Amino acid sequence: MKTYGIYKRQGLSLYDLTAIICIAFLLYGVIATAKRWSGDLTPSAPISLSLKELPLYAVYSLFRASIAYILSFIFAIVVGYAAAKNKMAEKIILPLLDIGQSLPVLGFLPGLVLGLIALFPKNNFGLELACIIMIFTSQTWNMCFSFYSSVKAVPESIQEMGTIVGLSRIQRLFKIELPYSATGLAWNSLVSMAGGWFFLTVCEAFTLENKNFRLPGLGSYMAIAIENGNTQAIFFGIVAMLAVIILMDFVIWRPIIAWTSKFQLDNSSESSSTEIPFMSLLLKESPVVQELLNFLKNIFSRLGFYSSFFNKKYKPLKIAQQYKSSPKKIYLIKVILISILCVLSFTVVGKIYALLITLTKREISLIFIGSFYTFLRVFAALAIASLWTIPIGIFIGSSPKWTRIFQPIIQIIASFPAPMIFPLVLIILQFFGIRMGAGACFLMLIGVQWYLLFNVLAGAIGISHQLRDSFRLMGVSKKQTWLKLYLPSIFPSLVTGWIAAAGSAWNASIVAEYIQSQGTTLSTLGLGALISDATAKANYGVLTASLLLMIGIVIITNRLLWQPLLQFSENRFPMEQR
Amino acid sequence: MINPLLELKDISHSFLLNSGQNIKVLQNIQLTIVPNEILVILGPSGSGKSTILRILAGLLAPTYGKVFSHEKILQTANPEVSMVFQNFALLPWLTAWENIYIGLDSSALSKEEKELRTKKIITMVGLGGFEEAYPRELSGGMKQKVGLARALVMQRPILFLDEPFSALDVLTAESLRREVLNVWKKKEASLQSLVLVTHNIHEAALMGGRIIVLGTNPGHIRLNIKNDLPYPRDEKSSAFKTLVENIHDIITEVIIPDTPEWVPPALAPHSVEAVPPVNINEILGLLELVASNNGRVDAFALAQKLMKDSVQILLMAKAAELLDLVDTPKNSIVLTEVGKKLVQGDSNEKKQIIQNALMQLKLTQILLEKIEGNPNLSLSYESGAELVHELLPNENSEKVLDTMIQWCRYGEVFNYNDNTKALYKDIPEKNT
């Protein structure tokens, strides 16, 4: 994997052609998006089911998801950096990230939409922004954590080297900290993007205060197609979504992951696939791309961006003060922070209280019974998912051949936004006489099982070959091999998978327990259904109470169940001993 | 007197451990570095020698005391210092060339000049042909050459070497030492002075113009030896041998003093001995070796024979002496009667002897007392560490406790459960 020379060729090559198509597509997307954003406010955009419109819808959705992802990435770098570099910031940011991670994002849609539309009453800017913020809040947290822990894990001697050599903070970020976190960020981006599609499709079509909101995109296209029972449109909607996901996978994620493998720390990764994705070659071999890059570089250096930003003159960093931070200053900052917090929480608590006292006794009991049912559904979905993903994951993961075949497929299926086909699945379930209560559980299962499969697979790939060989030599029975080797080996990954799956199962309950299709609303008793129902009917008391309860349950199960389990698995079955 | 390049005045330093324990690692250090010298800071692990280096480099602010660079107080990372690290500190995704070039990243030189300098240094340290190699393709010695080149390319007047050869095999280390000496002697890359941190006596004698010997608990300067032997030094010469032996005697005295330091009884009510961090199997191995040598060996000769660090051998000897298995008159290690019995015994008898020896240690007795004082015959790791900290405030209590657990598990004095993080004794069964 050495550098590839730039071949000077005459005429246009295949690479050039691809590059030009990509650039043209990008321009088209930017213009279409800009037009849509600045257009007159249309809360319920008319959706045409004709095939001709489908590519444009795909572009809208793709750009929404991409803008949200870029925002998440920038946010993750800024926040993760602050938390890793400043002790004070770390103490504030980490708990906030933890809460952010457990937010049932969808419950905040109404407030956000109404607020932003009020801010931008003339055009679609507010509506689009609301959708993007929803996607953003679903994808940024794991990236923040990933970057934070990577920066923290940079060896001390490397940091010391940076100080002695005299790297500025920016140089250090680009030369040391970003490369160290590249692998983690790339994989987390992949997961985030998959989660992003999920929320995108939900946020493109929803009901609020008995009004239908629709943003033109694949999600709304599918919603309308299902509503009208248009089989052809349903089919092509799914195809278009899959096409977008597969295209993204080939054009963006694979090259990025191949590129980041360069930054992997362990030296044994040489044997990993040496196949160079088309797009990485494209970047290096197309004169058009090279010209473009040079052009951009020139502009930047003209602007003095490079010289001031990257070639900052040597200025040694101040000595790290271990004990000398003045207690007075810290005390003052603490007082200010606490007083701001107090004022904020007083107003918020006041508002919430005003909403909560409007609740009737019946509503309160509904909320508690509903959360019990949703709780059961979440864990039932986890249990069923575990039942099939553990054996299948281990089977695929322990054979390099099957892994090679299945991993990319699973990656794509996992990225497919399940809510898009929820109504469809429900119709099929009803055909078999399965009622909505169990059906919602099944829908949640569809949404979350991939997290589990992914993690079990990763764990199974890591099972030590030496151990497996020695078990075979000793003639250990199949059952004992599973109990003594396979399950303990994948357990830490399994727990990580459970945590991710449980979090998104709670979120998914909001769309899985309450489904609008063909003019009717199907719902069952549950916390998610209550949130959706309250959103549609603008019952803010119930909405607030249900949301608070859901956040509370997620945080409490995290603290009391998942965190201890994670700690236990890391102590009992540590990774490095394999 | 020549103006010093760098100076430490009354430096003391403490570290706050994660357990909340405050450990003093340096006490009252005075030190100057003058132009054109090789200063060696020599000491066993735990003497704070790397901490001194980091304070001199401006990477760490001392808890107490001042650092002067050219008689001005140093407040930033020292711009006159470059450094070679024990574990190389290379970026794995950069080639050898790029790893060296990073040393010039923040300088104001033109690109051409930077590349010229890098090229020159690569030829000088003998990395020609390896410019495009990634660290994973390089051997340890080559990696450290890259680390050295990166330090030299900056052309700073002072070069710090933080145990630069300890991660390398013996032969590679030897050739790199000569290389560094050559660079310094020729005054290439505007290099004036070297500061080398090491625990290797031979290395100190070979390279040092001035050797600072550190003592432990907390780290302090024990001795300042001038070494005027001309470079290149002949290791076979009697003058060199005498020097090595002298330093060795001093180090031995630091680790296993013949006359125990007098401690006021009020400060040490139990006179608890800290156990050195040595594996019990190493102690048993040492005893076997001594026995096969007619029950007596010279610690330094043994270290050389095993190509092991003499400090490590001395720590093993100290541990064995604590258990009354050997005596250590001067530099020798001599088996005691108990030690002889142990070597001849089978594995059960060995266990029994170690158990008896452990029971003689004050620290074992105190820990056992606590364990047995608890109704379910157990003691949490945390309270164990706290207890050790009270008894031995200057030691890293977790290290001491870990060693105790390891020894006592072997001797079946008490046991430890890593899941519950508790030291415990089996509840005796009534029928047996």
Q: What is the pLDDT of residue A271?
A: 40
Q: What is the pLDDT of residue A239?
A: 92
Confidence grade of residue B231 (pLDDT, cut at 50, 70, 90): confident
CA pair distance B197, A163, nearest whole angstrom:
19
Q: Are strands A520-523 and B6-16 parallel, antiparallel or unpaired?
A: unpaired
Supply A98's token pair.
Answer: 């933890």
Confidence grade of residue A355 (pLDDT, cut at 50, 70, 90): confident
The residue-averaged pLDDT of A494-504 equals 86
Closest partner CB to B106 (pick from A168, A179, A323): A168
The residue-averaged pLDDT of B196-220 equals 88
Supply A380's token pair.
Answer: 């039932």
Closest partner CB to B105 (pick from A165, A316, A322): A165
CA pair distance B301, A14, nearest whole angstrom:
71
Closest partner CB to A165 (pick from B76, B102, B419): B102
CA pair distance A514, A426, nearest whole angstrom:
11
**Per-residue b/e over B274-292, b at no fewer than 16 CB within 10 Å?**
bbbbbebeebbebbebbbe
**Chain A residues near any Cβ of chain B (below 8 Å):** 2, 155, 157-158, 160-161, 163-168, 171, 175-176, 179, 262-265, 267, 270, 312-314, 316-324, 571-572
Neighbours of B229 (CB within 10 A): 15
Task: Using the predicted structure, report yes or no on whether residue B272 has a pLDDT greater than 80.
Answer: no
Task: Using the predicted structure, report yes or no on whether residue A388 has a pLDDT greater than 80.
Answer: yes
- Residue B106's H or E segment, with its range, is none
The residues facing B194 across adjacent strands are: B38, B159
Determine which of B50, B84, B91 to mutate to test the interface with A (most A C-beta atoms within 10 Å).
B91
Task: Using the predicted structure, report yes or no on whether residue A39 has a pLDDT greater than 90.
Answer: no
Contacts of residue A98, defined as CB under 8 A and 6 or more positions apart, other chains included, come to A555, A558
Confidence grade of residue A465 (pLDDT, cut at 50, 70, 90): confident
Task: Using the predicted structure, report yes or no on whether residue A72 has a pLDDT greater than 90.
Answer: yes
Is B259 part of the contact surface with chain A (CB cutoff 8 Å)? Answer: no
- Kindly report, residue by residue over A96-122, the tens digit of the pLDDT: 887 787 777 777 877 788 888 888 888
3-state secondary structure of B216: coil
Chain A hits for B103, CB-CB cut-off 8 Å, are: 165
CA distances from B137 to A261, B92, B94, B98, B132 (A): 16, 10, 12, 14, 10
Burial of B17 (0-12, 13-18, 19+ CB in 10 A): middle
- Kindly report, residue by residue over B14-50, the tens digit of the pLDDT: 887 766 677 888 989 999 999 999 999 998 877 888 8
CA pair distance A503, A515, nearest whole angstrom:
20
CA pair distance A451, A114, nearest whole angstrom:
33
CATH superfamily of the domain spanning A56-275+361-577: MetI-like (1.10.3720.10)
Nearest one of A347, A155, A185 to A256, comparing CA atoms: A185
Chain A hits for B422, CB-CB cut-off 8 Å, are: none
Q: Are strands B332-335 and B378-380 parallel, antiparallel or unpaired?
A: unpaired
Q: Are strands A211-214 and A205-208 parallel, antiparallel or unpaired?
A: antiparallel
The residue-averaged pLDDT of A160-185 equals 88
The residue-averaged pLDDT of A257-262 equals 78
> Which of A27-36, A138-147, A270-279, A370-379 shows the highest mean pLDDT?
A370-379
Domain ranges of chain A: 56-275+361-577, 316-342
CA pair distance A482, A487, nearest whole angstrom:
6
3-state secondary structure of A211: strand
3-state secondary structure of B91: coil
Does the beta-carbon distance from A175 to B58 stay under 8 Å? no
- The radius of gyration computed from the CA coordinates of chain A, to the nearest angstrom, equals 26
Min Cα distance A324 → chain B (Å) is: 8
Q: What is the pLDDT of residue A327?
A: 62
Q: What is the pLDDT of residue A4?
A: 43
Q: What is the pLDDT of residue A11?
A: 58
CA pair distance A494, A500, nearest whole angstrom:
10
Does the beta-carbon distance from A167 to B79 stay under 8 Å? no
Task: Using the predicted structure, report yes or no on whether residue A322 has a pLDDT greater than 50.
Answer: no
Cα nearest neighbour of B93 on chain A: A263
DSSP B361-409: SHHHHHHHHHHHHSTTSEEEHHHHHHHHHHH-TTS-HHHHHHHHHHHHH
CB-CB contact of A558 with A378 (8 Å): no
- Kindly report, residue by residue over B341-364, the tens digit of the pLDDT: 988 988 899 999 999 999 988 889
Task: Using the predicted structure, report yes or no on whether residue B95 has a pLDDT greater than 60.
Answer: yes
DSSP A397-443: HT-HHHHHHHHHHHHHHHHS-GGGGHHHHHHHHHHTT--HHHHHHHH
Min Cα distance A204 → chain B (Å) is: 42
Chain B hits for A158, CB-CB cut-off 8 Å, are: 89, 91
CA pair distance B323, B357, nearest whole angstrom:
5
Q: What is the pLDDT of residue A286?
A: 67
CB-CB contact of A97 with A141 (8 Å): yes
State chain B's mean pLDDT as an integer: 86
Does the beta-carbon distance from B92 to A163 stay under 8 Å? no
- Kindly report, residue by residue over A536-560, the tens digit of the pLDDT: 888 888 888 998 898 889 888 888 9
Is B192 part of the contact surface with chain A (CB cutoff 8 Å)? Answer: no
CA pair distance B82, B159, nearest whole angstrom:
5
- Kindly report, residue by residue over A407-442, the tens digit of the pLDDT: 888 888 888 888 888 888 888 888 888 888 888 999
Better-predicted residue by pLDDT, B234 or A67: A67
State chain A's mean pLDDT as an integer: 82
The residue-averaged pLDDT of A245-263 equals 82
Contacts of residue A170, defined as CB under 8 A and 6 or more positions apart, other chains included, come to A309, A310, A312
Does the beta-carbon distance from B83 to A318 stay under 8 Å? no
CA pair distance B110, B104, nearest whole angstrom:
10
DSSP A17-75: HHHHHHHHHHHHHHHHHHHHHHSBP-SB------GGGHHHHHHHHHHHHHHHHHHHHHH
- Kindly report, residue by residue over A476-493, the tens digit of the pLDDT: 888 888 888 888 888 888
Nearest one of B291, B384, B306 to B343, comparing CA atoms: B291
What is the predicted ipTM?
0.79
- Kindly report, residue by residue over B42-66, the tens digit of the pLDDT: 988 778 888 999 999 988 888 888 8
Q: What is the pLDDT of residue A381?
A: 94
CB pairs under 8 A between A and B: 97
Closest partner CB to A179 (pick from B78, B93, B103): B93
Angle CA A432–A438–A444, to nearest 5: 110
Supply A434's token pair.
Answer: 């399965």
Q: What is the pLDDT of residue B55?
A: 92
Q: Among positive and negative, which fits the CA dihedral A94, A95, A100, A103?
A: positive
The residue-averaged pLDDT of B169-178 equals 87
Q: Tell me the residue ranges of DSSP E strands in B121-184.
A: 158-162
CB-CB contact of A175 with A210 (8 Å): no
CA pair distance A56, A33, nearest whole angstrom:
10
